[in-house]
Amino acid sequence: MSETAIIGGTGLTSLNGLEIVRREVVNTPYGEPSGPLVHGRLQGHGVVFLPRHGSGHTIPPHRINYRANIWALHSIGVRSVIAVNAVGGIDDSLTPGCLVFPDQIIDYTWSRINTFFEDGLSSVVHVDFTRPYSEELRSLLIEAARVAGLHTVNSGTYGATQGPRLETAAEIDRLERDGCHMVGMTGMPEAALARELGLSYAACAVVANMAAGRGREGETISMDLIRQHLESGMEKVCRLLVELVPRL
Residues contributing to the site for ligand HPA (CB under 6 A): 86-88, 161, 166-167, 183-185, 208-209, 211, 226
Nearer to ligand HPA, 78 or 206 (CB): 206
> Helix 223-244 crosses helix 135-148 at what angle (to 10 degrees)?
90
Nearer to ligand HPA, 21 or 225 (CB): 225
CA–CA separation, 98 and 27 (whole Å): 36
Nearer to ligand HPA, 104 or 139 (CB): 104
**Minimum gap (Å) between residue 40 Cβ and ligand HPA:** 26
CA–CA separation, 63 and 148 (whole Å): 35
Nearer to ligand HPA, 75 or 228 (CB): 228
CA–CA separation, 123 and 212 (whole Å): 43
**Minimum gap (Å) between residue 185 Cβ and ligand HPA:** 5
**Minimum gap (Å) between residue 55 Cβ and ligand HPA:** 19
Chain centre distance of CA 150: 19
**Minimum gap (Å) between residue 207 Cβ and ligand HPA:** 8
What does each C-alpha distance from 225 to 43, 115, 174, 219, 220 come to in angstroms? 31, 34, 24, 11, 9
Task: Write the DSSP string, 62-75.
Answer: GG--HHHHHHHHHH
- Of all residues in the shown chain, the one whose CB is closest to ligand HPA is 88
Instruction: Indicate the burial class of 106 (C-beta count within 10 angstroms; 0-12, 13-18, 19 or more).
Output: middle
Bridge-based pairing state of the strands 45-51 and 4-8: parallel
**Minimum gap (Å) between residue 10 Cβ and ligand HPA:** 7
Nearer to ligand HPA, 98 or 245 (CB): 98
Nearer to ligand HPA, 42 or 94 (CB): 94
Residue 8 near residue 84 (C-beta atoms within 8 A): yes
Nearer to ligand HPA, 43 or 162 (CB): 162
**Minimum gap (Å) between residue 86 Cβ and ligand HPA:** 4
**Minimum gap (Å) between residue 107 Cβ and ligand HPA:** 13
SS3 state at 99: strand
CA atoms 157, 158, 161, 164: torsion sign = positive
